[in-house]
Amino acid sequence: MAAATLPLESFRDYIAQDVFYLAAFAEAYGLAVENTDDDQAKAVLRDLQHHVQEELEQVHQSVAQTFGFQLPSKIVPNTATRAYTEFLLAVAKGNIRKC
């Protein structure tokens, strides 16, 4: 990136994958809020979720505007992003069996 040799489409795809990943994190924090009775934990989780939402709304949009591209309305995750976010959400939903 510093040398400005990264193709813009590759950078756009990276940002799109990051948006997909962060949206899953926001969802996981929301699930954690729903599944705890601890008010202090809820406050911390809501704060984390808020920061992820800010990242999604502000930073990624400004990157897209700065570099002159639009992110797709529907992001198709690559294999690694899909596997990671599916695992993250499965854990957040309690769908992972303990080994």
Whether 79 is in a domain gets the answer yes
Whether 2 is in a domain gets the answer no
Residues of the domain holding 31: 8-91
Distance CA 99, CA 94 (A): 13
- 71 phi/psi in degrees, rounded to 5: -75, 150
Whether 96 is in a domain gets the answer no
Distance CA 9, CA 7 (A): 5
Average pLDDT over the chain reads: 90
Whether 1 is in a domain gets the answer no
Whether 99 is in a domain gets the answer no
Question: Tens digit of pLDDT for each residue in 10-54?
Answer: 989 999 999 999 999 999 999 999 999 999 999 999 999 999 999
* Tally of domains within the chain: 1
